[in-house]
Each structure stands twice: as C-alpha cells, then as structure tokens.
Chain A
Amino acid sequence: MLMKQKTSKSFSIFSTLMLLLLFLPSNVLAQSSAGSPDFIMSMVVATVIIVFGAIIFVTDSLLQLEGKRQLEGKDVKVDASLFPKNLNGNAADLPSYIPKDRYFKLRRGFDINLEGKPEEKIIDAPQVTRYSVSPMDFYGIAPIPKIVPEEGDAVLAGDELFFDKRNPEIKFVAPVSGEFIGLERAEKRAVKEVMILADKEIKFRELPHLDINVAERADIVDFLKKYGGWVHLRQRPFDSIPNPEDVPRDVFISTFDTAPLAPNLNFATHGEEAAFQAGIDMLNKLTDGTVFLGLDGRAKEVPSPVFTNAKNVEPYWFKGKHPAGNVGVQIHHIKPIKKGDTVWYLHPHDVIVLGRMLTERRYNTERLVALTGAEIKPNVYAMVRPGANMGELLSAVQFQEENVRLVSGDVLTGKKKSRDGFLGFFEDQVTVLLEGDYYEPFGWLLPQEVRPSISPTFPGFIFPDMEFRADTNAHGERRAFVVTGQYEEVLPMDIYPQHLMKAIITNDFERMEGLGIYEMSEEDIALCEFVCTSKMPLQQILREGLEIVNE
C-alpha cells in the first residue's frame, strides 16, 4: 500500500513535467515555424527535461524496489523514495494510541534546537538553604502585599507568608519550613522576594482532611484559598490569579512542553498518578465545564500513564513544533476564549501540588527541575521546590563559562536571575546561557557561527537536527515593523499577531478585542518575538495591551 502511494507520487511529478512539455513548445510553435532557431532551442530544452524526468522517475522506482526488497519480512517502515514523505505526516500513519478524532496537527511553529537538553537523570538534591516566594511572579496583585510573620519567626511549609490586601482570603504560603529572614525590595518599595532560611528536614503544616466526593464547591474554594493552593491556579485571559467568585468555563492542562530545552514532563511527573488524579478531581468540582488535557501527539514517545490514564478529563492530542505545547495554543484549537469567558489553566506540576494537598494532606511543591543549557554540565534534573536559590541550586553542576546568564524558565519566557535570585513560582526549568555582549565584525552579513533562525538565508535550515549554542546577543538593533508574515509563520493560531501588536501600540481597544487579545499570553507571542527581524519587545507590548483591556 505504502509503495503504491510512492509510485503514484513520483508518477504525478513525472506527468506534470510531461504536461509542461506539451505546453512549452506550443507557445513557440504558435509563432515560429519548425526549423527556426527558437523551435530547435525549445526542442532541445524539451529533450533535456524529458531525459531528466525519466532519470528521476527510474531512479525513484528502483530505489523503492530496492528498499522493499531489503525490508522484506521486517516490520519497519522506511521511505526509500527520492521524495521521502514524512511517515507521521498524515492521520493515516498515526500511532494507534492517538484517536484520530481528538488529534490536532499544527503546521506552523519553530523548534529552537539548543545544546544542553536535560538527560533523564536525577542528581542528588543540592542543599538549598534559602527559598523565596516572589509576589512578582503573580499577575493581578498589588506590588506591596501584607506580610504575615515577623522577621525571625519560624514557619512550617504551608504556613501563611503574605496576602494581597485586596483579596485577604487568598493566602500565599511558605514552600519550606524554616526561619523567615525578611524581604528584598525593588523600586518603589515593591516586594521582590519574601525569603525563608530553610530547615534541613522540611516540617509540614498538616492540612485538614477534605473528602472531595462529598465536599461542596465553596468548601474546596475555601480550602484552597486558606492553605495556599489557590495561587497555583491561573486564569486566561490575563494569566492572573482567578477571582474566587468566578466559575471558570473550562480548565485546561497541557501535559507537554515544547519550549527550547524544556523538561520532559513524562519523566518529571513519573509515579504521580494518584496526586495528579486527585488534582483533576478537585478541578472538576471547581468548574461547571470540562477539564481538558493537551497530550503530546508528536509520536516521539508515548505520554506517561499519569496523563493517559487520567479520568474525568477530555484529552486532545497535539502534534507540531513549538508552541504546540503551550496551553494558550491548545485552548485556541479545543475551545477558544471569547470575550467575557474565563478559563483556568495549570501546569501539571501545579495539578500535582493540589492533589497532594488531598492525598498527602500537606502543601508539598517538590518537583523535578531541569538544569539545562550548554554552559553547565551535566544537564540533569534535581528534586527541589520552586523558590529555591539559583546559586545553591546550580552548585550541583559545573559551569563551563564565566560570563553567563541564569534564566529561571526557558529562554523564551523565563526571567533573568542573578546567583542570589530565586527560581520562579511556576517554573520547572533553569537555563544557563552565554551572555552575548560582544561586537561581531560584519555580524549582520557573515555571522561567525551558525545560530538558530527561521530564515533560510542561514545555512542552518539544511540541517534540521543541528543543535545550536545560542547567546543573548540581540543580533541587531530595534527598528520599525518592516517584514510581514513572519510572525504568522510561527504562531499556529488564527490570529494576526502583527496587527494585534499595532492595535496595542495605537491603543485601539476594540481592535485588540476583535483581533483576539484575550486568547494570547506572553508565552504564545514569545516565539514571534524571537523571530522578529525588527527586534520588537512583543511580550512587553502584549502585557501592556492585556493591562489596558483588563481595566
């Protein structure tokens, strides 16, 4: 069957050539009689094309026959044709575990293939002594929250640390037990870090028992608000902490991460079936709609049973390059956000944290964090909690270079941190990459190394598997919008990103809404920002737009 398709394909190419031939000389014949130089010329061209076409056709057929002969009786699918077709390219070749009617194939996107992918290995947990919760990791709260403990007070993991004065019931709690050692402030006295000196053995505050099967929605909401679970929920639009009065239309969870050097969540959530399921059950009680699960349909590996065996969810499979794993893109394809809609989304690790509040009855944010990037060796996973001190977390690995940037998160959306900084609240990845503060002679014309790019003016596109060692150089200066169509090329959504950006810049409220700003978040536009020829700060522009429409 497979071979038959191939033959027909090369045959169709051949017949197109033949048709071209019929067409080409007919023009000439119409004007000049046989024997004129033009006629002879076109006959020569025609012969050359026929010969080439025939050579290609015969070679292709022979290659396929040979491939068929060598693979006789083996259960391997190899495309020996001259024009190999992507074997997973269409729904007919889907692996059996992916149901066709719940499958989205996203054509647009781009995988930034960097060096320093995490190996599936866990190193002994580095001794992290300082943890922090940063109010700046959350959208929609006041910059100066009310701090609950006094400096020097002992806290347990799960004890209240601070709350937003506008929503005093929503508590932000300590990820570890230890001593509250004070604040770090940013401009205008905004609280940047709320720091704890951690105990060696983490002591947990015991949470009350909550039977999810009998509990009312209001009970669950109160439980989450009081014991620190609520702030793990995020709302679209705006990515803010959800308002407890709102009932979300649906809840979305993306179970795979396609960002550069992203951790493998199948590996990182290994063995968390019970907690994940408990979290899902809780979310089902919180929404009147459905809990949607976005599963990895790229067919590189079977997703973890933690995700595939989850019950009370509606799974959808996504195949595609980054940003196919972004929850925003998945929402857009499963059930888009319209004006007035509120949906929630969670990272799988946050689902597990909620689940553990039921199963373990404690606030345990422990997760496998991937230490990635070409400038540290080895690239492995470490079991820590978000808010861990970056310097201490990275003491477990060797730095290859001095002049590096530490990023909490991935290279597209993460935040720059110093060694005194802390891992972000929602992050499960640290990236270390080279600072690019160098001048490059004629760097715009003849770059000295191959760098990731969507532009075919660089030879990188010939080698799709090539891994790049990227640095933070901006590779050019900021300009006005000139090039069009390149954002659309990497954004698999029915949205016009460039026009949306222009609507935000010109503060055109109705146009922003109409062009779908409610469906967008920084992580969705991040790849557009990476490819932007004019070096526009798109994530910043989008956030400004979201703040405008939120008011």
Chain B
Amino acid sequence: MVDNIIKLLEKYEPNKEKQPFLWALYDGFHTFLFAPNHVTKAGVHIRDNMDLKRTMIHVVLMLQLCYLFGTYNIGHQHFLALGEYTGFLEGAHLKLMYGLWQLLPIFVVTHVVALGIEFYYASKKGHSIEEGILVSAALIPLIMPPDLPLWILAIGVAFAVIIGKEAFGGTGMNIWNVALLSRVFIFFAYPTEISGDEVWVAGLESTFAGSAVEYGWVHLTLFNGLFGWLGLAQFDPGLTVIDGFTGATPLALAFAGGWDAVTEVYSQSQMLWGAIPGSIGETSKPLILIGAIGLAMLKIASWRIMLGMVLGTVFTGMLLNFWGATPFMTVPWYHHIYIGSFLFAMAFMATDPVTAASTNRGKWIYGFLIGFFGMIIRILNPAYPEGWMLAILLMNTFSPLIDHLVLRKNIQKRLASA
C-alpha cells in the first residue's frame, strides 16, 4: 500500500532543476505524507524520533483551543454589541458561523501569503520547506484584531516573512519573532486600524449607539437560508449597536480609570474566561494556560522563560503598585496576569526558541526582562496600553547579548582556572 503510493508519487515528481517551485511543493507534500527513508550515515546510527515537523505541529496543536474559543468569541462580541444573545451560549450557531466567516479569510490569507513566500524562497535556494513558517502562520491570526482589513494583513505577513525571516536566511536564523513582527508592522504602519476601541469587535460600522451592522450575502442569503431551513434563529440586518456599548478592552479602561473602571464593564470571571473584546486568540486565559502547561510539559517551550516572565511581571507590577502615580499603576499586580495578552505572549511568543536566549541561565534573564519591560511599556506608555509585543521584540534584539554574557562567564571561568 505505502509502496504503491510512493511509486505513484514518484511518477509525478517534477524536475528539481527545471521546475524548482513545483519541486519544493512536491517535496513538502511528500515529506508531509511520509517520513523520508533517510538512514543515518556518519556519526550516530540511531536517531531520536523527534524532528522539527513534530516539534512545530505540537505548538500548532496547543493553539487549537485558542482558535476554537477565538472563533466563537468573535461572534459573541459581535452580538454583545448589538444587545442580542447576551448569554454566552445563546445563539451559538450564529456566533460560531459569524466567527468562522470572520476568521477563515484571515487564516487563509495568512497561510497563502506566508507559505507562498516560503515555497518561493525554498525553491530559489533549493532547500526543503521549513516547518517554522507553519507555526508563525498559525500564530499570526490569533494576535490580530478580528476586524482587520485583509490587505493590511497580507502586507504585514509579507513584510514579516520576507524582511524578518527570509532576509536573514530562513528558519533558525531570524532575529525577531516573525508573528510579532507582522503585528508590529501593522501597528506602526496602520495605527488607526489596530488600536482604538473599534477594531476589537467585528461587523459594526462603528461602536457608537445606533450604528448599523455589516452583513453580506453570505450571512443574509447563505447562512440565513441554511438556518431558516433548519428552523434556527437567523441573522437580523436591522439590528443596531445598543446604548452604553463600548468596544474598549480592559486595558484601555484600566489605563483611563484604574481597576474600578474595568470592573464597571467587565466582571472578573468574564476577563478570566475570555468573553471580552481583544485579539482573536488571546482572550481566554484558562485555554492559553492549558497550552502553556502542555508546551512546558512536552519540553517544546522553555518553562524557564515562562517562569522568568511571570516573575518579572509580578516584580514590576508590585513596584508600580508601590509607586501608584496614575490610575493604571494602582491596578493590583495580580490582575495584570489575566487582563490583556500577558499569558498568550508568555506561552507562545516569548518561548520561540530561535529568537529567545539559548542558554538556560540566559532564558531566566530573558524571561524576567520581558516581564519587566512589558509591564513598564504597558503601564507607562501613554499611547497604547499593552507592552508584550514591544517588550518581546526588544528582548529578541538583546537575547544574543544575554547569551554572550552567559557564555563569557563560562569562558572566563575556564580561562581563570588555566
């Protein structure tokens, strides 16, 4: 069976010299279906079953819960703004389909752009497809606001993959986290599209009371036709945004008015479980924690970085509590753990092994400093009340320096005893 499929595949193998792009596609597909028959040559005769494909797929698997919740939450936030189906499970089919229809284009555009560029560079340089791009492409939709225009997304992804990764030589060589680079590109190039209160809820003209919803043919004809046939509730194009709705994230509220301003709008359990506006994948803390613990236990992500980051955040949070000059500074440090995207950044962004510090001691320092700078930027930055993206990119830049210092200590110890 396996042999026959292999033979069939080999019949259609494109010429690597003449059709490099097709060959890269073919090779990627082939190694995806079948672990290759390479045997060890020099050196060790047996190899661990672990390879980069398996490492990467585990990160993607750990993200799936965030995807599931994120999809649903897009729909949930949409209907909250309209004042319909305010219970979390009410109108579940509408919320799910709405979220799916919002998320799928983001997901597809990200993957087409990222994989297209990776395939192109793989064929140009003659190496096989590197799996790291799949993780980046799986992470990018989760850190984007749900209402982001797709063309901006495409430009952001292309920038991150070409300038942030391929320009440095591909997987394993990049200095900055590719997913965050796409986010930071959009953040600085199109600031109005990714900040403010309006971007976190999808499908509204604006967040002011009375503005109309934006439903398309798919919602009104396809989905409504389907739901009507099934006898379920349908999308109502006549709904408008209710009075008193704010699309503001807890961080924006906390920045303006401290912890009381936050709890006026969102309850603690709402923020913990994630039924709040925000980037697609970062709202539900328990599901992110499952991913984080899973990655740490499977030894795919470094628990040192995660723990270091928690310590850094707690330490800085306490420090700023003590200072307490602005309303945001007075928000108790333990609330900072679950408002905003701290946990998502900790589990999936800071732990990227390529851009993080690579020595064990360095990982502690790296994690701690991300926590420190992340809190400083989150609380003291007047323009934008979130800091992990910038803190992680900052520490990505300095992680070689941290490693250098750790290694220098090792070298000096060796030389001193000589």
Which residues of A are at the interface with B, using a C-beta cutoff of 8 A? 27-28, 30-32, 37-38, 41, 112, 260, 336, 338-340, 405, 407, 411-414, 416, 431, 433, 435-445, 447, 451-458, 470-477, 479-486, 488, 494-496, 498-499, 511, 514-516, 526, 529-535, 537-540
Contact = CB atoms under 8 A, between A and B. Distances in A.
Nearest to A110: B48
A497 B52 CA distance: 19
Contacts of A340: 418
A474 B38 contact: yes
Interface in B380-418: 403, 407, 410-411, 413-415, 417-418
B43 interface: yes
B306 to A, nearest CB: 13
A439 B132 CA distance: 23
A132 to B, nearest CB: 21
A540 B43 contact: yes
Contacts of A452: 46, 48-49
Contact of B47 (A416, A473, A498): A473
Contacts of A27: 334
A506 B125 CA distance: 21
B218 interface: no
Contacts of A455: 48-50, 54, 298-299
Given A482-B132, A482-B171, A514-B415, A475 B47 contact: yes
B46 A532 contact: no
B51 A472 contact: no
Interface stretch (B28-36, B152-160, B236-244): B28-36
B418 A339 contact: yes
A534 B52 contact: yes
Interface stretch (B85-93, B95-103, B250-258, B352-360): B352-360
18 contacts: A340-B418, A411-B45, A411-B46, A435-B39, A440-B35, A444-B51, A445-B57, A456-B297, A479-B171, A480-B169, A481-B172, A484-B356, A485-B358, A494-B410, A496-B407, A499-B358, A530-B44, A539-B43
A385 B313 CA distance: 64
A464 B49 CA distance: 16
Nearest to A471: B46
B35 A443 contact: yes
Interface of B: 2, 6, 31, 33-40, 42-55, 57-58, 128, 130-132, 169-173, 263, 267-269, 297-300, 302, 332, 334, 353-354, 356, 358-360, 363, 403, 407, 410-411, 413-415, 417-418
Contacts of A457: 50, 54, 58, 298, 300
A336 B416 CA distance: 12
Given A412-B44, A498-B358, A31 B35 contact: no
Nearest to A457: B298
B2 A453 contact: no
A407 B299 CA distance: 32
Contact of B38 (A28, A473, A526): A473
A440 B173 CA distance: 29
Contacts of A515: 407, 410-411, 414
A28 B353 CA distance: 36
A267 B15 CA distance: 57
A472 B418 CA distance: 41
* Most interface-central of A407, A436, A479 (chain B CB within 10 A): A479
The 6 lowest CB-CB distance pairs between A and B, nearest first, are A476-B51, A443-B35, A480-B172, A514-B411, A338-B418, A444-B53
Contacts of A531: 48, 50
Contacts of B171: 479-480, 482
Contacts of A439: 2, 6, 34-37
B48 A440 contact: no
A485 B302 contact: yes
A527 B408 CA distance: 25
Contact of B51 (A407, A516, A533, A537): A533
Given A336-B414, A439-B6, A455-B50, 12 more contacts: A41-B269, A412-B45, A435-B39, A442-B35, A445-B53, A455-B298, A476-B50, A480-B130, A484-B358, A498-B358, A514-B407, A530-B47
